[in-house]
Structure 1
Amino acid sequence: MFSIQDDLLAGFRLFSIARAYPDKAFELLLPVPLAHALQEKREECVRIAQAAHEAKEDLRREELHTRTNPPAQAPAAPLPNQVAFVKAFERGVARRRRDRRHPVLRGEELLRVIGRIATLRDKDYQKRELELTKKLELAGALREVANPAFRPEKWAKSLEYLRGAHPHFAEVTEFVARRVTLSTHGRQPLKIPPLHLWSVPGLGKTHYVNDLAQALGAPIRHHSMENAQTTSLLLGTERHWSTATQGLIFQQICLGTVANPVFLIDELDKAPRGSQYDPLAPLHSLLEPITASRVRDASLDIEFDASLATYIATSNDPARVPDSLRSRFREFHILPPTGAQALQAARVVAIAAMQQLEIPGFTSPESAICNKLAHLTAREIYQTVQDAVARAVEAGRLRLTLDDLPAAVLDECTVRSVLH
């Protein structure tokens, strides 16, 4: 310690500083302000040292108390009988028709996830996850396989529509038709390889994929890469995030009813590049048959089979798509339709749009009307024809006239600026 002597020169103070050994003590003559500052600093150091010592002692006592009085463990959620659970969950897997039903989950994997959930401390989070696994348990391991070959007459009509409404996609349509034909000569489920359709904008790629999925009888899920910022949309958010959610692949396959849904990966060439989380990264495993059979959703930390899913990507500039991904796709360059193809497509789509309204007695459109629609996309033809039918019905007619079409459609020079 040190003390201040008050009987020295005015403005100075004498300090006696005790070292580790008292006989080594020495004194310093310092100005009063400096002496006071040193004393305050020393007192502060003493307080800090005492606080640290007390905290250390508190920690030591707490550890000693924990060793001698361990906290009571929260009762874990009861686990089902393993053998019975797996047997019930996988009921029908061994006896199924492989071309019609496909197992997307294993009982042992779901049991592992349930066991992990039982150890969670957050009871609200545990409850949510157990509710989700209960849905999976009730759904079982099997999902239906969509295949239009099971209904050949309907498939023939669908093919006729695809060929007529989308003639410039003929190469894609015939490729898919051959895969459906192959599925009828074996016992394996329908599997369509990943497809990449690229062209200039405005040729109706998205509309075609929607019509193709409808023809296949498979649900479709749309995912645009243009605004994708992370990998989580496809395979889920990591569990340590409070907003953790399942990825759309898990949602569509495991929580859905079909093992081979269609996933439209739109604007593949516009995915953000150079970010820490590459939104294209999950596609490398999803598009590879071997790894696709054992993909993992990050949210539930569960492994499932997505090998039958159909992935169809679209882009405008394939050069901007990584080669590692392009090598996994069957690529098709879509060219603009010829004049004859455009006229044919306009008539097919216009008739389909009318039939969808199911108005008894309404006659098919005349060639003059279809010619006025030929420069539009399939989606635009649908919208224009159904609006025109509404005008005709209001006027008490069961046929279309040119007056029922919007002025912008009749003026081919300005149609693009109006409709886009």
Structure 2
Amino acid sequence: MNTIRRRTSGGGDSDNPEGFALYRTEAFEDSYQGVELLLPIALQWRLLEERRRLARAREEDRRVPTLERLRADRDATRAAVARTAQLPAGPGDQLSFIKQFERGMARRDRTRRHPVLKAEEVLRVLAKTATVRNRDEHKRELELMERVKSLGALREVANPARNPDRWARAVANLRACHPHFLVVTDFVVEHVALSMSSKGPLWIPPLHLWGPPGIGKSHYANDLALALGTSLRRQTMENAQTTSLLLGTERHWSTACPGAVFEEIVLGRYANPVFLIDELDKAPANSAYDPLKPLHSLLEPFTAATARDAALDITFDASLAIYIAASNDPNRIPESLRSRFTEFEIPLPRGAHAIQIAQVVAARTVEKLSVPGFLPPEPRLAYRLAHLTPRAIRKAVQGAVARAIVNDRRYLKTSDLPADVLDEDGPKVVLH
């Protein structure tokens, strides 16, 4: 640092002119060598004050960024994000983006393609994303929006009636494999026929299937989705604690992610996928964030047309989604939800239906195990399985196939079935 000192003779009197003193300028702060200058004392004090001021400014600048620097960093970040997101800059670019995103909208066949997003909504979300400062949030949201942009506004509308022969075979299969769901199958067939007559996109009112556990409600929903030619997304409510399962986590959380409805419709292929809401009656009743709350709006086509996913704060059209709820005890479901469903009580299969189901489930179970060279089960085995639920039949047949393989056989014998199944005196779920 710079110092001021008076040089004196041996007698102690100063040799400097009046009002002057030696001013030492060191090359570095820890240096003992420097240059001594004879300067007016008043000037030296001003130089020392300026030196101290500059030192304080450097220290402050090193510790706390200036407001201008913060603003510059913010503007640079926004510009970089906007470039990464390819956010249209001016009205002309925005109009071009809208035309590209909504391409094919005007000429579309309403029965085959349905708009699930508006270009203006995508632009709004992109602009909002450009203001997000957290790097991880940037990356997550930009990746999602890139997928949204690439998919455009339209999604396919599945309707099996466009292929009458295939639809007739699918309906016959539903009736053969799930005879105790005949009334549900007939309900769906009627609405498929209605969609073709009305020249509108296929939509089926929400279904609530309730009955004893293990009778095949989930398997029926899966087969129904296959018959309709659309995708299926299963969401169980047994351990649900928040509303985020269906409509996403709020974007300010570090673990924010889109909900099942957004993923299946906006990021998926179909505008009318099937959502299986399983174990509806087992949703926690006293949860602070009611997991069933989103269903109140999603089950109504009018409000579902403006569904909002929290992760991106984006609004989309989920009005064509098909909902199938499954439960064991409908009395545990709020009446406000039950009123939005068409309800069907599914009974335990009996008599000829029980034998028919046992044959189908046993054959499917063997087929899905994919054991090379294993023969389909003989029809007579169905008589020993018909008193079980479809779930219990699958478990029994899986164990029987394992026993047959252990005994170096590629076919089933009655003795391969579990002992409790063969016990004539054991409990019977269904008598025939």
TM-score (norm 1): 0.76
Given candidates 310, 328, 333, the residue that maps to 1:316 is 328
Given candidates 154, 157, 160, the residue that maps to 1:142 is 154
Do the aligned partners of residues 101 and 384 (structure 1) sit closer, same or farther apart at CA in structure 2, a change above 3 Å counting?
farther
SS at match of 1:185: helix
Do the aligned partners of residues 319 and 386 (structure 1) sit closer, same or farther apart at CA in structure 2, a change above 3 Å counting?
closer
SS at match of 2:340: coil
Per-residue CA shift, 1:330-358, capped at 9, x if unaligned? Answer: 01111221222101211233344456678
Partner of 1:344: 356
**Residue 229 of structure 1, CA deviation:** 0.9
1:237–1:244 Cα contact (<8 Å) kept: yes
- Taking the aligned partners of 1:70 and 1:334, their CA distance within structure 2 comes to 64
**Residue 387 of structure 1, CA deviation:** 5.8
Identity, in percent, stands at 60
- Taking the aligned partners of 2:124 and 2:394, their CA distance within structure 1 comes to 50
Partner of 1:275: 287
Aligned: 1:107 with 2:99: no
1:326-337 alignment, distance < 5 Å: 326-337=338-349
Aligned: 1:243 with 2:255: yes
Do the aligned partners of residues 374 and 304 (structure 1) sit closer, same or farther apart at CA in structure 2, a change above 3 Å counting?
same
2:374–2:410 Cα contact (<8 Å) kept: yes
Do the aligned partners of residues 349 and 161 (structure 1) sit closer, same or farther apart at CA in structure 2, a change above 3 Å counting?
farther
Aligned: 1:83 with 2:95: yes
Partner of 1:155: 167
Unaligned runs of 5+ in 1: 1-64
1:161–1:348 Cα contact (<8 Å) kept: no
**Residue 184 of structure 1, CA deviation:** 2.5
1:225–1:266 Cα contact (<8 Å) kept: yes
2:367–2:376 Cα contact (<8 Å) kept: no
**Residue 113 of structure 1, CA deviation:** 0.4
Do the aligned partners of residues 309 and 394 (structure 1) sit closer, same or farther apart at CA in structure 2, a change above 3 Å counting?
same
**Partner letter of residue 157 of structure 1?**
R
Unaligned runs of 5+ in 2: 1-65
2:247–2:308 Cα contact (<8 Å) kept: yes
**Residue 406 of structure 1, CA deviation:** 3.4
SS at match of 2:380: helix
**Greater mean alpha carbon deviation, residues 177-186 or residues 262-271:** 177-186
- Taking the aligned partners of 1:187 and 1:236, their CA distance within structure 2 comes to 33
Partner of 2:135: 123
SS at match of 1:238: coil
Aligned: 1:401 with 2:413: yes
2:214–2:391 Cα contact (<8 Å) kept: no
Partner of 1:71: 71
TM-score (norm 2): 0.74
**Greater mean alpha carbon deviation, residues 232-241 or residues 71-80:** 71-80
Q: Alpha carbon RMSD of aligned pairs, Å?
A: 3.0
Partner of 1:229: 241
**Partner letter of residue 71 of structure 2?**
P
**Partner letter of residue 155 of structure 2?**
R
Number of equivalent positions? 355
